[in-house]
Structure 1
Amino acid sequence: MTTTATSGQAPPTETDGLPRPGTFDEVPGWFYRTDLILFDWFLSRQRDLRHHGDLLEMGAYMGKSAVLMGAYLQAGERFTVCDLFDDPEAAPDEANEREMQRSYSTLTRRAFEANYLSFHDELPRIVQAPTAVVPGEVADGSCRFVHVDASHLYAHVHGDIAAARDVLDPEGIVVLDDYRSDHTPGVACATWQAVLEGGLRPVCVSSHKFYGTWGDPRPWQDALHAELKERGKCWLQWQQVAGQRLLLVGARKAAAPSLPVSRHAPAPSLVPGRTAPRAAAARRLAADLLPPLMTRALRRARR
């Protein structure tokens, strides 16, 4: 079954009882400082180079990375998110269904939508189905940036990488999550198999994500190395892996990029005993213009 945002349930409303994150950090999920910086750098550089194309995410969890990616969507572009969400019947096989029940039993599409709409006016195009449907849902060569973070099982990741190659344009970037975690050997195998046999060329890696392209990685690598070196507080190292140049990046101590702002962000708190600048200015003006008797009455009322 494939369900899209236009034909599925209506988006959540403010009265449905779902929690609304007040900050990006409150969106459930894992997104470490180095990858925040790298996502921002790649997506911002594509914008600066006037590189247009759609965005795709395979595997969304509660929407943390989708919220970030949506902030870089340019006019005329489409953002597609493909995930099973809370539909175990859509799992393509028993192994995938077990993985869903074990790791993502609390995941619901409604929660994803509520989180995303806390930061953006419109939902992305949602395909609620196995990622195997992506080739039929996203046009070949239409994307500039693809984030793969769905199943950790080798057969599925292998297919997701193949789908990413088809939908990316020649200079597009693919990001593979959990390429080296001890509980995701299938992702590691599929990632390096794509490098050794499938023409995928690494640009850089963080502790948690692999960034690559089927185009020429060198312009990306040189520009990234130069900018992060200039920023400072970044650990950078060049390596050669299977004849490919690879940049290792660690930026845990570097300044985070600007993050999307929630419409539910708490109002700035005031220091006790101090008044907001605009309110204070308005009161001073009233004191200057109102008759003294009325001014004294207002002051007594405030006290």
Structure 2
Amino acid sequence: MTATTARAAQRPRSLNDVKGWFPSLDQVLFDRFLTRQERHEQHGDLLEMGAYMGKSAIFTAAYLGDDECFTVCDLFDADAPDERNAAEARKSYATLTRTAFEQNYLAFHDELPRVIQGPTSVVPRHVGPDSCRFVHVDASHLYEHVVGDIDTAHSALAPGGLVVLDDFRSEHTPGVAAAAWEAVFTRGLRPVCLSTQKLYGTWGDPGPLQDELLADEEWRSTMHTSVQEIAGRRVLRFSGKPPNPAAPRSRYADVPRESSVGSSGSVPAPARPAPSPVRRLAADVLPPVVTRAIRRRRRTT
């Protein structure tokens, strides 16, 4: 295997090979809203604040129009603006580098998006007001930063645009939850729907979007839908694991995975032999505590 082929074998062959948190439910919802915007000829740029390894950015870029710009902002391996943000980056994103993001992205698309490497507070310098139709917020989990990111999204969105707030309900991100619901109750954000981890909202009228989602029973058949009411306003909630929509195809999709030599150049350890029929029967019949004791003894002899 040549060095070029070995490098290709390490590139993502599908979106599932890209590290990140972008479940099929949110892929289905992204697809629904972005294709609706195309269908209604709603033009505007796309913005993502917080990219990690590029999983959601790769997916979103497939809906970019010829005359539109996609902007991605992330610290990557740059210095954080304050120590709390730096500590968060060290804990959750220690392996994140801009090079890894760009390699993943270029496996699916011919050109990189406009990349802003730095804190999301600098986004308004690069993204004009009322210029975006879709904004995905998935950067810092600290309350004061998320408040700023939501303000940036509000300013960047054109009338009728959609904002997606990640981690609005995770137990380890209470700052995101506080900022998200504060925006709902005090700054005019109207939730359209909720997924397991994202809040989809608009500063426009969510009614037509919600009516379309509820009317399409075939589209909803692969997930669970409930209609909630929060402060007198309708909110849809979706859950489940629907089939993924068609994701962008990697240029490395047909490259065989490296099998004989790992990325470090070392030869992997030989696979363990399959257990004999007698051992399989013993595992099925003996109590688990006895089976574990036998396995421990075998490992030490």
Match for 2:166: what amino acid? D
| TM-score relative to the length of structure 1 | 0.80
- What residue is the counterpart of 2:14 in the other structure? 23
2:154 alignment partner in structure 1? 165
**1: CA distance between counterparts of 2:93 and 2:17?**
18
Matched residue SS, 1:257 = coil
1:120 alignment counterpart: 109
Q: Which runs of 4+ in 1 moved over 3 A?
A: 14-19, 228-231
- 1:47-196 matches, cutoff 5 A: 47-87=38-78, 89=79, 91-196=80-185
Q: CA separation in 1, counterparts of 2:146 and 2:210? A: 25
Aligned mates of 1:102, 1:51 — CA distance in 2:
39
| CA-atom RMSD in angstroms | 1.8
Aligned-pair identity (%): 58
Secondary structure, counterpart of 2:254 in structure 1: coil
Q: CA deviation at 1:227?
A: 2.1
Per-residue CA distance 1:248-273 (angstroms, 9 max, x = gap): 01241x332111100000269xxxxx
SS of structure 2 residue aligned to 1:105: coil
Q: Deviations over 1:123-159 (max 9, x none)?
A: 0000001000111110000000000000000000000
| Distance in 2 of aligned mates of 1:228 and 1:122 | 37
Counterparts of 2:216 and 2:252 in 1: how far apart (Å)?
Answer: 33
Equivalent residue of 1:224, what SS? helix
Alpha-carbon separation, structure 1, partners of 2:58 and 2:255: 21
Q: Give the superposition deviation at 1:232.
A: 1.2
| Aligned counterpart, 2:297 | none
| Post-superposition offset of 1:230 | 4.7
CA contact (8 A) 1:228 1:234 kept: no
Q: Which runs of 5+ in 2 are unaligned?
A: 257-301
1:197/1:23 CA distance change after superposition, 3 Å? same
Q: Does 1:214 align with 2:213?
A: no
Contact 2:141–2:173 (CA under 8 A) maintained in structure 1:
yes
Q: How far apart are 1:234 and its partner, in Å?
A: 1.8
C-alpha distance in 2 between matches for 1:42 and 1:223: 11
1:9-20 aligned at under 5 Å gives the runs 19-20=10-11
How many angstroms apart in 1 are the aligned matches of 2:219 and 2:107? 34
SS where residue 85 of structure 1 aligns? coil
Q: Is the 8 A contact 2:13 2:255 kept in 1?
A: no
Give the distance between the partners of 2:229 and 2:209, measured in 1 at CA.
16
Indicate conservation of the 8 Å contact 1:202/1:211, yes or no.
yes
d(CA) in 2 for partners of 1:239, 1:74: 34
In 2, the alpha carbon distance for the partners of 1:124 and 1:41 equals 22
- Shift in CA distance, 217/93, structure 1 to aligned 2, threshold 3 Å: same
Displacement after TM superposition at 1:233 (Å): 2.4
Q: Determine the C-alpha separation between the residues in 2 that align with 1:231 and 1:196.
A: 28
- Aligned residue for 1:165, secondary structure, equals helix
- Does the 8 A contact of 1:146 with 1:173 survive in 2? yes
Give the C-alpha shift of residue 17 in structure 1: 5.0
Contact 2:51 2:139 (8 Å CA) reproduced: yes
Contact 1:142 1:168 in 2 (8 A): yes
CA distance in 1, matches of 2:219, 2:26: 18
Q: Is the partner of 1:179 in helix, strand or coil?
A: coil
- 2:234 maps to 245
Q: d(CA) in 2 for partners of 1:267 and 1:94? A: 42
How far residue 92 of structure 1 moved from its aligned partner, in angstroms, is 1.2
User: Letter of the aligned partner of 2:139 in structure 1?
Assistant: A
Q: Which runs of 5+ in 1 are unaligned?
A: 1-13, 269-303
Tell me how far apart the structure 2 counterparts of residues 133 and 219 of structure 1 sit (CA, whole Å).
Answer: 33
Contact 1:145/1:168 (<8 A) preserved: yes
Question: 1:239 and 1:256 mapped to 2: Cα distance?
Answer: 25
Amino acid at match of 2:93: Y
User: Could you say which residue in structure 1 is the equivalent of 2:247?
Assistant: 259
The amino acid of 2:87's aligned partner reads R
